[in-house]
Amino acid sequence: MSESPMPTKVGPDPTVHSGPTLGGGAALPRAGRGLERLFRWFSTGAGVLVLVVIVAIAAFLITQAIPALRANQANFFTSTKWLPNDVAHPRFGIAALAYGTVLSAAIALVIAVPVALGIALFLSHYAPRRIATGLGFVIDLLAAVPSVIFGLWGRDYLSGPVTDLSGWLHRYLGFIPLFGSGGPYGNSILLGSIVLAIMVLPITTALCRDVFVQTPKANEEAALALGATRWEMIRTAVLPYGRPGIVAAVMLGLGRALGETIALAMTLGATFGVSIDLIQVGGNSIAANIANGFGEANATGRGALIASGLLLFAITLIVNVAARAIIFRRREFVGGQS
């Protein structure tokens, strides 16, 4: 804090000849004009930088991918083979990887979203304040666990119980194609998805809780005064009000699940196949395949991996645009109230 010179300049200052004085403080020199301009340039620059980085990433991916895509002897979009390191006949396709990426992320959300909504509602509307604060802290802590730890834990600890679960699912629900495999079980889409679900839980829960807490008291009381039970109040006031926020939370979770690399590299079976079966050993994702394959890849192999990265980039972009569109569509109903 510097001492302001303002009070001494309130009256006419004989040392400053700044032309006719237009009443009040119009003729007073304003401190901080330069700072103002500097800050504007700084914030504009920061905004532009984001765009530059995104364009640079896209340009990098495209230029690196093109030579490999030219050399590819299979259809990049439909082939499930991944043999880019074959010097004589490099052939690779994204189908199995993209399928595994989307499938594992989708299963993860199916598991995580109901749990996240439940925890968030418990924290915002059911738990006593002290428990809510403590539990909220633990959930946030879960978000701080590095993904490699989740990967290790999933591979070395969770794979046993999931193997048992797979056997159980097959025995009782084997008529559903999802659980059709008779074994062996272990590193599977199911295991990867469960680990992913735990990883997306914190961010989804935290966002949903923040949205639920913001429900206007007036709306909650309106529902209660109509004779709603607590759950009915949540259904009539809290959930509809929070819907755009829930969608955003789910999409952010989906973004995390799609891009998750190391935990999936450690828990998926790293095979190249397209199967609806969740419990058989197998499964792969774009990001996990890049992590697994980059070390041993030759020039074409690296280009192929980068091409797959480009597709992942496109998928996450589409997911985000879709999320924005959904949120935007509901805006009239939420923004309407003063």
Partner 1 sequence: MNMAKRVEAVDVTAYYGSFKAIDSITMTIEPKSVTALIGPSGCGKSTFLRSINRMHEVTPGAKVQGKLMIDAEDIYDPRVDVTAVRRAIGMVFQRPNPFPTMSIYDNVVAGLRLNGVRKKSTLDDAAESSLRAAHLWGEVSDRLKRPGGGLSGGQQQRLCIARAIAVEPQVLLMDEPCSALDPISTLAIEDLIGELKDRYTVVIVTHNMQQAARVSDRTAFFSIESTGDPGRLVEFDDTTKIFQNPGEKKTEDYITGRFG
Q: Which spans of this chain sit near partner 1 (rule: CB under 8 A)? A: 129, 216, 218-219, 221-229, 232, 236-237, 240-241, 243, 330, 332-338
Return the number of the residue (237 or 286) whose C-beta is nearest partner 1: 237
Q: Output 219 or 298, the one with its CB closest to partner 1.
A: 219
In angstroms, the first-to-last Cα distance of the chain is 39
Peptide bond just before 184 cis, omega within 30 deg? yes
Q: Which amino acid is at 162?
A: V
Q: What's the 3-state SS for 237-305? A: HHHHHHHHHHHHHHHHHHHHHHHCCHHHHHHCCCCCCCCCCCCEECCCCHHHHHHHHCCCCCHHHHHHH
Could you tell me the smallest distance in angstroms from the CB atom of residue 137 to partner 1? 21
At its nearest, how many Å lie between partner 1 and the CB of residue 135? 18
> Toward partner 1, which CB reaches closer, 24 or 227?
227
- 53 burial (CB, 10 Å; 0-12 / 13-18 / 19+) is exposed
What token pair was written down for 315?
């998928």
Give 3 or 332: the residue with its C-beta nearer to partner 1: 332
CB 122 to partner 1: min, Å: 16
Label residue 132 exposed, middle or buried (CB < 10 Å: 0-12, 13-18, 19+). middle
Measured from the CB atom, the residue of 177 and 216 that comes closer to partner 1 is 216
3-state secondary structure of 188: strand
Q: How far is CA 163 from CA 120, 139, 152, 266, in A?
A: 30, 27, 16, 15
| 238 close to 122: Cβ distance less than 8 angstroms | no
Q: Give the nearer residue to partner 1 in terms of CB position, either 240 or 259.
A: 240
Task: Please state the closest distance from residue 133 (CB atom) to partner 1, in A.
Answer: 14
Least separation in angstroms between residue 241's CB and partner 1 is 6
Question: Is 165 or 224 the residue whose CB approaches partner 1 more closely?
Answer: 224
Q: To the nearest whole angstrom, how small is the minimum distance from the Cβ of residue 140 to partner 1?
A: 24
* DSSP conformational letter for 83: E
Q: How far is the CB of 131 from partner 1 (least distance, A)?
A: 14
Q: What's the length of the chain? A: 338
